[in-house]
Amino acid sequence: MGVYMQPTKKNGKLIIKMTEFSGFYKLSVEERIARIKEYAQLSEAELIVLKNTGALKLDVANRMAENVISATHLPLGLGTNFKINGKEYVVPMAVEESSVIAAASHGAKLSLPLGFEAHADEPIMIGQVQIVGLKNAGDVAVKLESKKTEIEKIARELTKNMEMRGGGFRRFYTRAIKTERGEMLIAYFEIDVRDSMGANTINTMLEGIAPSLREYAEEGQIRLRIVSNFADKRKARARAIWKKETIGEEAIEGILDAYTFAKTDIYRATTHNKGIMNGIDALAIATGNDWRAIEAGAHAYALRSGKYQPLTHYEKNKEGNLVGMIELPIALGIVGGSINSNSIAKIALKILNVKNATELAMVAVCIGLANNFAALKALSTEGIQKGHMKLHARNLAVIVGASTDKEIDEIALALERRGTYTADCARDILKEIRLDRFFL
Ligand code: HMG
């Protein structure tokens, strides 16, 4: 089966290395599950959850959202070949689009043997309280400043659970603004939320402290008390070098041209960043995180200079190799939110084997960089359709009604040979296959 290697044994103990995931995609689903069971030491109960693609039970789904009538499903795959700060990762990715997981694995493979270097900030989230109806917001800012010690004491008290985990209150400040609806004061709280995404902690704290802010302000009305998804205190960044001997000079020039295009054109920059978010969202969804928050923060960060820009940066180093870099806010948690009630997310985190949310953020940016690199390499050389559509061919076969693995394989192969990846073409091929079989 494929190029799959047997895991090695040392002193009777199973050692599974990242390189042993080479050709993982050539295995059957059963063989992949068996492999990941060994790799992540999954229990029989966890295997049952993995094999049950309708794993989200109705009563659990009903507790997660409103007006629930069912659950929708996404494939969960594994991004392979990720080496980050010297540690090897197999990365769970939930995504409906073909070729995203292949592209991430491909980009990561080409970065080896060095892999990625990554770093993430402390998990500090920002919360905002809006006070409206002020005669002079600047005066109120001064009043709140004079009560800073009291305000910080209350904020600490309200986040003492986080403090016990090593996080908690970090900073309080205000900003007075003049608007068409009068003067407003915005109070900012920075809270270290440790391994959580942080929205619940922040929102609870803000609602708790708001009455005291109103009391110290002596005027106005409290309006919004909410976390900011522009988590710019919680950024992660990564870097990788793709050697010219590995990817070729033509690919390097192509990627640099593609990157320059994205820097100068918002239509291209948006698609460039979509390609980055392909991987980051897939990881966020697999781990039960709020991917809309990540998306919102990413695009705001892309626009921070006032001009929408790519979230990655590419340059050639003096050896002529390609250096790729990425930086964006990443508010991902490994505890809290819906993670506790999402059994697949728990297994995904076990497979990922990250110690904390900061490490998860580092993995996220590496996936984003790998996806972006692979997409730009394909786009600027052979074109995206060749690899993407090759993988999409099997989807097309299923869409037009192929019902056995044999039919699906035959249609995918015939589409590839004809070089036309359309549903009409797949339908014609299916008819031909069935007709041939009929006359056999
Ligand atoms: P290839 O050169 O045929 O791959 O690329 P390969 O056969 O040499 O294999 C290399 C590695 O890729 C493998 O290593 C796998 O890790 C992985 P191995 O396991 O053999 O040691 N790989 C696969 N993994 C899973 N399933 C597979 C598979 N094939 C290879 N079937 C590939 C083929 C599709 C990877 C390449 O053409 C590629 O990276 N294309 C880019 C595809 C892409 O970016 N898709 C995203 C969707 S398009 C989009 O939404 C974004 C976009 O608009 C963004 C933008 O505009 O910037 C494009």
Atom 52 in ligand 1: residue holding the nearest Cα? 275
SS3 304: coil
**pLDDT tens digits, one per residue of 248-304:** 999 999 999 999 999 999 999 999 999 999 999 999 999 999 999 999 999 999 999
Complete edge-to-edge strand list for the sheet that includes strand 221-227: 168-179, 182-192, 124-134, 221-227
Spacing of C-alpha 395 from chain mean position: 24
Answer yes or no: is pLDDT of 226 > 50: yes
For each of the domains in the chain, give its residue range(s) and CATH number, in order of start. Answer: 8-64 (no CATH), 78-121+235-381 (3.90.770.10), 124-227 (3.30.70.420), 386-438 (1.10.8)
User: The tokens of 23 are what?
Assistant: 């050709």
Q: What is the DSSP letter of 335?
A: B
Is the link from the previous residue into 123 a cis peptide, with omega within 30 of 0?
no
* Residue 384 confidence (pLDDT): 81
**Residue of 20, 183, 192, 290 marked active site:** 290
Residue-level pLDDT at 438: 67
pLDDT tens-digit profile of 292-320? 999 999 999 999 999 999 999 999 999 99
Tokens of 67: 């007006």
Which residues, in sequence order, are CB contacts of 304 under 8 Å at separation 6+?
A: 232
Give 75-86 as a DSSP string: -EEEEEEEEETT
Q: What is the pTM of this model?
A: 0.91
Contacts of 51 (CB under 8 A, 6+ apart): 33
Given a cut of 50, is residue 220 above it in pLDDT? yes
Distance, in Å, from the CA atom of 154 to the CA atom of 218, rounded to the nearest integer, reads: 18
Q: Which atom of ligand 1 is nearest to the CA of 376?
A: 57
Question: What kind and span of H or E run contains 176?
Answer: strand 168-179
Residue nearest to atom 22 of ligand 1 (CA): 102
pLDDT at 284: 98
pLDDT at 218 over 90: yes
pLDDT tens-digit readout, 118-152: 999 999 999 999 999 999 999 999 999 999 999 99
**What pLDDT score does 382 carry?**
86
Q: Which of 101, 108, 107, 102 is nearest to 87 (CA)?
A: 108
Q: Evaluate if residue 370 carries a pLDDT over 60.
A: yes
Percent of the chain with pLDDT over 90: 76
**Averaged confidence pLDDT in the chain:** 92
- Give catalytic status of residue 388 as yes or no: yes
pLDDT at 72: 87
For the record, the structure tokens of 180 come out as: 């068409």
At 178-207, the pLDDT tens digits run 999 999 999 999 999 999 999 999 999 999
Q: Which residue has the higher pLDDT, 73 or 278?
A: 278
pLDDT one-digit tens code per residue, 39-68: 999 999 999 999 988 878 888 888 888 988
Residue-wise pLDDT for 374-416, tens only, equals 999 999 998 887 777 777 888 888 889 998 888 988 998 998 8
**Do you know the residue count of the chain?**
440
Are 303 and 256 a contacting pair, CB within 8 Å?
no
- DSSP letter at 19 equals G
Nearest CA to ligand 1 atom 5: 387
Ligand 1 atom at minimal distance to the Cα of residue 275 = 54
**Structure tokens, 81:** 């070949």
CA distance 312 to 272: 9
The radius of gyration of the chain's CA atoms, rounded to the nearest angstrom, is 25
Q: Is the CB of 23 under 6 A from ligand 1?
A: yes
Single-letter amino acid code for the residue at 292? R
Contacts of 273 (CB under 8 A, 6+ apart): 298, 299, 302, 310, 311
- HEC string for 184-240: EEEEEEEEECCCECCHHHHHHHHHHHHHHHHHHHCCCEEEEEEECCCCCCCEEEEEE
Query: Residue 376's pLDDT is what?
Result: 98
Residue from 35, 105, 280 whose mutation best tests the ligand 1 pocket (most atoms within 8 A of CB): 105
